[in-house]
Amino acid sequence: MIEIREMRIEDYEEVYLLWQRSDGIEVCTRGSDSMENIARYLERNPGCSYVAFDGGILVGIALAGHDGKRGLIHHTAVEVKYRGQGIGRELVERCMEGIRAAGIPKCYILVVRADNESRGFWERTGWDLRTELVLMSKYT
């Protein structure tokens, strides 16, 4: 039976390894995905990030939070052999419940353009493609 619970920083090492082996997830090598930064993110956004375990084995993660205005779901991954069982959908719904509980009315997700499998998941779960937006970034 799959257990879903809020992510704790103690889950970090397993989560990081799942992110690294998951197609479509770009783990930041310049620090934003470091243990220190993820710990700060979890502390700032309680009730927004969730992990799934089968026994003691991590099989899914959805990292989420908000800036006070908009929610953002990051780095959602489910082990390949566990896909299609509703785990990703449940993880994301738990994240959305946490974001709604914080009073945030809208949420974003960033998806790698060429990752059709991930894009299909998000479209099937009700997310809209925003073609009028352009993402820009800059390292601080």
74 lies in some domain: yes
- Average pLDDT on 77-87 reads 96
Compare 24 and 52 and report the one with higher pLDDT.
52
Question: Is residue 71's pLDDT more than 80?
Answer: yes
25 lies in some domain: yes
Task: Read off the tokens for 123.
Answer: 């479209």
Share of the chain above pLDDT 70, in %: 97
135 lies in some domain: no
Question: Is residue 19's pLDDT more than 80?
Answer: yes
Task: Give yes or no for a contact between 78 and 52, defined as CB atoms under 8 angstroms apart.
Answer: yes
58 lies in some domain: yes
Task: Give yes or no for a contact between 122 and 111, defined as CB atoms under 8 angstroms apart.
Answer: yes
Using H for helix, E for strand and C for coil, what is the string for the chain? CEEEEECCHHHHHHHHHHHHHCCCCCCCCCCCCCHHHHHHHHHHCCCCCEEEEECCEEEEEEEEEECCCCEEEEEEEECHHHCCCCHHHHHHHHHHHHHHHCCCCCEEECCCCCCHHHHHHHHHCCCCCCCCCCCCCCCC
Domain holding 10, by residue range, is 2-124
140 lies in some domain: no
72 lies in some domain: yes
64 lies in some domain: yes
Q: What is the pLDDT of residue 130?
A: 86
Chain centroid to CA 50: how far? 8
Q: What total of structural domains would you count in the chain?
A: 1
Query: What CATH number does the domain containing 92 carry?
Result: 3.40.630.30
Helices 12-21 and 35-44: angle between axes, nearest 10 degrees = 110
| Mean pLDDT rounded to a whole number for the chain | 92
Compare 65 and 137 and report the one with higher pLDDT.
65
Tell me: the pLDDT tens digits for 25-34?
889 867 889 9
Question: Is residue 115's pLDDT more than 80?
Answer: no
